[in-house]
């Protein structure tokens, strides 16, 4: 098996017995062109838009959690306060009416 492999490597490619010299890859220029530029630009803009949207949603969730924590703390403080300190806010003052003549 090793001898057959060595002979195959020494004789060259059996499917292409007369290989031609190919172009130097260092001198070959491949470019995606204008379509590739626009495609990359659209993907980049989409990624940036998704990042901004994700940051906005995370901020909103964090603020909601903070508000719920504050409300829970206020409720616990109100329940634990002595009854003498529990006061309701005063009702709004009634407007004074002028007597009819």
Question: From CA 39, how far away is CA 32, in angstroms rounded?
Answer: 10
Helix-, strand-, coil-residue percentages of the chain, each rounded to 5: 60, 0, 40
Residue 78 in contact with residue 86, Cβ under 8 Å? yes
What residue segments make up the domains of the chain, in order of their start? 53-80
pTM value > 0.95: no
pLDDT in tens, the chain (101 residues): 778 777 666 666 666 666 666 666 666 677 888 999 999 999 999 999 999 999 999 999 999 999 999 999 988 888 887 766 666 777 888 888 887 76
* Contact yes or no for 14/8 (Cβ under 8 A): yes
């Amino acid at each position: 098996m090793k001898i057959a492999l060595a002979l195959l490597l020494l004789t060259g490619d059996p499917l292409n017995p007369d290989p031609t010299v190919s172009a130097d890859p260092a001198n070959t220029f491949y470019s995606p062109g204008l379509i590739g530029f626009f495609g990359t630009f659209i993907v980049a803009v989409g990624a940036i838009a998704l990042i901004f949207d994700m940051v906005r949603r995370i901020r909103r969730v964090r603020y909601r959690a903070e508000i719920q924590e504050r409300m829970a703390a206020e409720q616990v403080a109100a329940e634990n306060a002595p009854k003498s300190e529990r006061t309701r806010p005063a009702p709004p003052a009634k407007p004074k009416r002028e007597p009819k003549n």
